[in-house]
Amino acid sequence: MLKVDKLVSGYGPMQVLWEPSLNVKKGTITSVLGPNGAGKSTLLWTIFGTVKPWSGKIYFEGRDITFTPPHEKVNMGMTLVPEGKHLFKGMTVYENLIMGAYRKEAEEKLQENLELVYTLFPILKERAQQKAGSLSGGQQQMVTIARALMTNPKFIMLDEPSQGLAPKIVLEVFETIVKLKEEVGLTILLVEQNAEASFDAADYIYVMHEGHFKAEGRPEDIRKSKEVREAYLGI
């Protein structure tokens, strides 16, 4: 579904991505693991187009989208769930979700998607009229994911969904991500520092270090390979 070929990008004169190539198959969860500063978030924001690629190619469903602007990518069914809490804190949960349905197609499917989101996250239905900023960290993360679903996507990228969450909540978030794949039929690319959680959820894993992919494979294999674990994941 998504194919990235030798992507190079960075900020100002500083190169961050050193030609990683990756392939995300339709209906799977692909996870990019790596320590802080490995370039994981930059990878996502470059694929999305907020950070401009210097060279390399990005294909989405066979189309070259290397230089397609972000809003058009959303129209093609791609979106990104940003790290941390990029929510509209002063608005209610419901207003946040409605904001997600900005695109025309998303607006048409508003009710349908709202029901889907409320089924996936019943707590958000209860808290619909509450200010988003007053929710707990885990619930805020759910609002961010839910708002992304309101854009009616087929492919979503998640930037460190476990960041700043208690271990028990991390588990919940990852269960939801698996549900997104199995019940909603989404294709997912996520980047994570939390290796253990990713191993259980992901179908395929890339290990990133200093802008390169150092290893890739199925979770069982990555989990087993001692070098990878010691060198890059510290577990």
Contacts of 130 (CB under 8 A, 6+ apart): 92, 93
Number of residues that bind another protein (CB under 8 A): 25
Helix boundaries (H) for 70-156: 70-75, 93-100, 104-108, 110-120, 122-126, 137-149
Rounded distance between C-alpha atoms, residue 22 and residue 38, angstroms = 15
Told to check if 148 binds another protein by CB under 8 A, we report yes
Q: What would the two tokens of residue 194 be?
A: 């939390």
Q: Which of 151, 176, 187, 194 binds another protein (CB under 8 A)?
A: 151
Q: How far is the CB of 226 from another protein (least distance, A)?
A: 38
- Interface pick for another protein out of 18, 28, 35, 88 (rule CB under 8 A): 88
Nearer to another protein, 21 or 75 (CB): 75
Q: Does 67 bind another protein (CB under 8 A)?
A: no
Using CB under 8 A as the binding rule, whether residue 134 contacts another protein is answered as no
Residue 100 binds to another protein (criterion: CB under 8 A)? yes
Give me the residue label for tokens 């839910």: 146
Span from 102-110, 188-196, 202-210, 221-229 in contact with another protein (CB under 8 A): 102-110
Q: Which of 50, 55, 119, 134 binds another protein (CB under 8 A)?
A: 50
DSSP strand pairing (22-24 vs 14-18): unpaired
Q: Where are the beta strands (DSSP E) in the chain?
A: 2-11, 14-18, 22-24, 29-33, 55-60, 63-64, 78-81, 155-159, 187-192, 204-209, 212-217
Nearest to 141 by CA among 120, 126, 162: 162
Q: Is 63 in the site for another protein (CB under 8 A)?
A: no
Q: Is 70 in the site for another protein (CB under 8 A)?
A: yes
Task: State the nearest-atom distance from the C-beta of 224 to another protein, in Å.
Answer: 35
Burial environment of residue 180 by CB neighbours within 10 A (0 to 12, 13 to 18, 19 or more): buried
Nearer to another protein by C-beta: 99 or 184?
Answer: 99
Q: Which of 41, 66, 79, 139 binds another protein (CB under 8 A)?
A: 79
Q: Please, how many CA atoms are within 13 Å of residue 193, restricted to the half-sphere of its CB?
A: 14
Residue 212 φ then ψ, to 5°? -115, 155
Stretch that binds another protein, among 35-43, 82-90, 112-120, 200-208 (CB under 8 A): 82-90
Q: Which two tokens stand for residue 150?
A: 């309101």
Q: Does residue 133 bind another protein (CB under 8 A)?
A: no
Residue 164 interacts with another protein (CB under 8 A): yes or no: no
The footprint of another protein (CB under 8 A) covers 48, 50, 69-71, 74-75, 79-82, 86-91, 99-100, 102-103, 106, 147-148, 151
